[in-house]
Amino acid sequence: MSDNMVEVRWMSGQASLESEGRIKVSVITKQALKDGNVAEWLKPMVDTLERNHLFEGRLNQTYVMPLPEGASAEAVILVGGGERPLTSEDLRLSAAAAAKAAIRIQAEQVLFEVPALLSAWTVEGSSKEAAHALTEGFILGAYKPIHYRRETSAYEGVRRLTFYHEGAVVDQEAEGWKEGIASGQAFAAGTILSRDLTNLPGNLLRPEDLADTAVELAQRYGLEVEVLDESEMEERGMGGILAIGKGSVNPPRMISIKYQGRSDWDEVTGLVGKGITFDTGGISLKKAPGMADMISDMGGAASVLGVIEVLGRLRPEINVVAVIASAENMPSGSATKPGDLITTLSGRTIEMLNTDAEGRVVLADGMTYAREKGASRLLDIATLTGAVEVALGNVATGAVTNDETFLQGFIMASKQTGEKVWPLPSYPEYWDMLKSDVADLQNSPGRFGAAITAGLFIGTFAEGMPWIHLDIAGTAYLPKERGVDPKGGTGVMVRTITQWLITEK
Ligand code: BES
Ligand code: MN
Ligand code: ZN
């Protein structure tokens, strides 16, 4: 994986700032401009910029100002803070904008001036949350995907970020800053792991490679990990994942990691991720245009691993079993065909009408396996349907559930992280659409309501346990950068799932 994390630290008072960075960042809100509440040394320049509509403190706005020789810094990046009161998302976006400006001018070390009053300007009023949002936003905004070009550039991005308050700070505030930086770093690290995995091409990330990554991650944090190969899956009766994997020379893997943060293995949340390392559609072959994007069809698995990375760093007192159902969906002489009959781990049978509706079939076994591993509530995450992108674009993740109050808790968490989640309905009529003439379920109930029926197919295997399904087909892999997200893999939902797990415990 790429080692492109920014090192973040915090200072207050008049510490030796010289060594901390020759580029300063200053967040200026619209209100501060109106009130003239801007540092003395910046005021004349900022006034001129505002008069000439060059910088007005708008959210996401940045202005890079070189400073005269002999000044305490080489340049200052003005960042618009938007309107007060500031939300965590405002801070996150401002920090991401600052990071992008810093990268444009090839800054290596950045000093981020934090107004002493910052947390008082925020909706949450907490220095910990403000520090978390700024740290997370800056690191995510500074992210650069791995590339494979022969020529590499000497500039490697921002290496160090120092937040500093001028003057003295009370202990409690300092504690909040330290904790917020640590949790912001952990959330960003998990998200970046997920982005990097999502961006890996299909030939560099096969189910076995995904399994190796999971094993490495688990070992780094001392977690129990298990990888099932084809013969072990055969013995257990995992006919779903095997049916999808059997067309490829790169065999499927069922991967699980246990994170035990409580003394007893109870109240276990099962996180089940779709890990299709490449989706050609199989015998129901996809069209050529855009097929390369299907390297991201393991985005759900990537996000599950991202969550494990965050849990490994923060060690909350919760129990999680992560399950990743990984296969490569290929057409070949050994591939599953339309019309084939499949028996899943649960014993339920599937009439396979379309081999391109493969995600739900591997996840069927993933869900049952998570229950076998002790899960008492379930969340699955998958780049499942083109239909969810038709409905919500690449803006919001679609959610389906069998328990609306359970989903409400998740949506609350998403409001804190700024990641957008929108519920789709699950009326009985949609469940009825999954019926098959010959099997318990069919895997391709048609175009209408397809994001819902695909979700409910998976929900069948929750066997009545509280369950949430997240369809990230629109949000896991973007055609161009937006906000804190880059072009390509986004690591979507790593932050929200973690936030939800930590606050629901
Ligand atoms: N991996 C795709 C869904 C997808 C589409 C992800 C676009 C990201 C971007 C999934 O396996 C798939 O092929 N779904 C089909 C299902 C259909 C054949 C029933 C779809 O949505 O078209
Ligand atoms: Mn498919
Ligand atoms: Zn797929």
Dist. CA 413–CA 494, nearest whole Å: 11
310 CA distance to ligand 2 middle (Å): 29
| Domain match, 237 and 131 both | no
pTM above 0.85, yes or no: yes
Dist. CA 182–CA 8, nearest whole Å: 9
| Domain match, 430 and 462 both | yes
From 274, 277, 350, 356, give the residue whose CB has the most ligand 1 atoms within 8 Å, as the site to mutate: 356
Dist. CA 141–CA 102, nearest whole Å: 10
| Domain match, 309 and 191 both | no
80 CA distance to ligand 1 middle (Å): 39
Residue 205 located in a structural domain: no
Dist. CA 369–CA 371, nearest whole Å: 5
Residue 489 located in a structural domain: yes
From 198, 241, 385, give the residue whose CB has the most ligand 1 atoms within 8 Å, as the site to mutate: 385
Question: How many domains does the structure of the chain reveal?
Answer: 2
| Domain match, 149 and 253 both | no
Q: Give the position, in ligand 1's atom list, of the atom nearest the Cα of 276.
A: 1
Final residue of a structural domain among 165, 195, 225: 195
Residue 48 located in a structural domain: yes
Q: Rg of the chain over CA atoms, in angstroms?
A: 24
Residue 230 located in a structural domain: yes
* CATH number assigned to the domain comprising residue 375: 3.40.630.10
Q: Which residues contact 60 (CB under 8 A, 6 or more apart)?
A: 80, 82, 93, 94, 97
| Domain match, 430 and 380 both | yes
Final residue of a structural domain among 130, 163, 195: 195
Final residue of a structural domain among 168, 195, 222: 195
Q: Which residue range(s) make up the domain with 221?
A: 213-503
Alpha carbon nearest to ligand 1 atom 3, residue: 385
198 CA distance to ligand 2 middle (Å): 16
**Residues identified as active-site:** 286, 360
Tokens of 188: 């960003």
304 CA distance to ligand 2 middle (Å): 20
SS3 label, residue 130: helix
| Domain match, 392 and 247 both | yes
Name all residues whose Cβ lies below 6 A of ligand 1: 279, 297, 354, 356-359, 383-387, 444, 473
Q: Which 3-state string (H, E, C) describes 390-411?
A: HHHCCCCEEEEECCHHHHHHHH
* CATH number assigned to the domain comprising residue 164: 3.40.220.10
| Domain match, 247 and 349 both | yes
Residue 204 located in a structural domain: no
| Domain match, 283 and 168 both | no
Residue 203 located in a structural domain: no
Please count the CA atoms within 13 angstroms of the CA of 130 that sit on its side-chain side: 25
| Domain match, 154 and 229 both | no
Residue 91 located in a structural domain: yes
Per-residue pLDDT of the chain (505 residues; tens, 9 = 90+): 445 689 999 988 765 666 666 788 988 888 888 888 888 888 999 999 999 999 999 998 999 999 888 887 889 999 998 888 999 999 999 999 999 999 999 999 999 988 877 888 899 889 999 999 999 999 999 999 999 999 888 998 999 999 988 777 788 888 999 999 999 999 999 999 999 999 999 999 999 999 999 999 999 999 999 999 999 999 999 999 999 999 999 999 999 999 999 999 999 999 999 999 999 999 999 999 999 999 999 999 999 999 999 999 999 999 999 999 999 999 999 999 999 999 999 999 999 999 999 999 999 999 999 999 999 999 999 999 999 999 999 999 999 999 999 999 999 999 999 999 999 999 999 999 999 999 999 999 999 999 999 999 999 999 999 999 999 999 999 999 999 999 999 999 999 999 999 998 6
Residue 207 located in a structural domain: no
| Domain match, 29 and 154 both | yes
Ligand number nearest to the C-alpha of 386: 1
| Domain match, 467 and 355 both | yes
| Domain match, 156 and 182 both | yes
Residue 17: predicted pLDDT: 63
Residue 91 CB: number of other CB atoms within 10 A? 30
